[in-house]
Structure 1
């Protein structure tokens, strides 16, 4: 059995990219990307992920200042850096996103439970973001090596958004700029059927 082309494009042959060509990513493509991502399932359709697509040099400098040393050249190379954030006040949207739920009951949960729901569901949505970007012919480089407090201070000081991850987005440079594929755990190493 051969792998369908889309599986190769999205998973099997797709790679994490560290460096990018200078080909820009149009704002319309970023809008299209979000329109795809928002359709992925989350717990009770809470959809707490928020995105800041950084394209200007002024904003990029703030991201670079908050990034780990090894991630700075990667950020400089990418035409777009997505700050993936989670909204700690996602519950304000429950009446529209999850009308089947008691919005007041959701909002009255302890703050730490709401924060955990926001963070975990955002990580789930981030997976959709990477796969959706690949489906549009884009390459990605996710990074967690950054100072989230600095990002929050620079971009989200007066909001309920909190930085979770950075993802470089663009058209990746291949060849020796892409590492050889690393080992992946076998089924029996990572799964069990009970």
Structure 2
């Protein structure tokens, strides 16, 4: 990105690098711990990001205990087990399919919205979409804290749901390893589409 284009943004160049240009998906981490206060600061930042009708379906399970880690590892794909076992902290990000019961009451359309979401397929689709938005914000929050995220989709989703969300009302969205990146933590950056390949004007 040229300096002129970069300067068109409100964030300074260092913040842009921290969140996007220099940030990488990490596959290896140092043994520096990630504290609860760091995760709380991350959530308290990203909870303000937008969703449809201010839906807040994201639920986070922090896997800290050795027992919890073993419960999770049995459901991870083989290629993800070693790095998940070694990460300082692992978070399971899931969508609460009953999110509509906690829609903010200050919105006048909430009664109608609860009726709208009475149909479970519609409610689950909205929970997954908005939960995925919140999960993406959560990853950016991890980067804003000076940490690296290693989001993964390689797991037995039904197994994770049953293991950690036995009520049947939650759906796992991703598993994220969190920590300070270790040596050779990332693969070479893959190509990105250019502005002209993505953006059209009508």
Change (3 A) 1:94 1:103: farther
Residue range with higher mean Cα deviation, 105-114 or 73-82: 105-114
Aligned pairs, number: 192
TM-score, normalised with respect to structure 2: 0.89
Among 4, 16, 20, the residue aligned to 1:11: 20
Q: Does structure 2 retain, via aligned residues, the 8 Å contact 1:86–1:122?
A: yes
Choose the corresponding residue for 2:36, options 13, 20, 27. 27
1:107 and 1:82 mapped to 2: Cα distance?
32
CA distance in 2, matches of 1:103, 1:136: 37
CA contact (8 A) 1:92 1:107 kept: no
Query: Is residue 190 of structure 2 the alignment partner of residue 182 of structure 1?
Result: yes
Secondary structure class of the residue paired with 1:152? helix
The structure 2 residue matched to 1:102, chosen from 102, 106, 110, is 110
Could you say what the CA RMSD is over the residues aligned between the two structures, in angstroms?
1.6
Q: Give the TM-score normalised by structure 1.
A: 0.93
Tell me the SS of whatever aligns to 1:140. strand
Task: Tell me the residue number matched to 1:191.
Answer: 199
Residue 76 (structure 1) aligned to one of 76, 85, 88: 85
In the alignment, the residues of structure 1 paired with residue 73 and residue 172 of structure 2 have an alpha-carbon distance, to the nearest angstrom, of 14
Aligned match of 2:173 in 164, 167, 188?
A: 164
Local SS of the residue matching 2:151:
strand
**How does 1:37-76 map onto structure 2 within 5 Å?**
37-76=46-85
Q: How far is the alpha carbon of 1:159 from its aligned partner? A: 5.5
Shift in Å, 1:129: 0.5
Residue segments in structure 1 that go unaligned for 5+ positions in a row: none
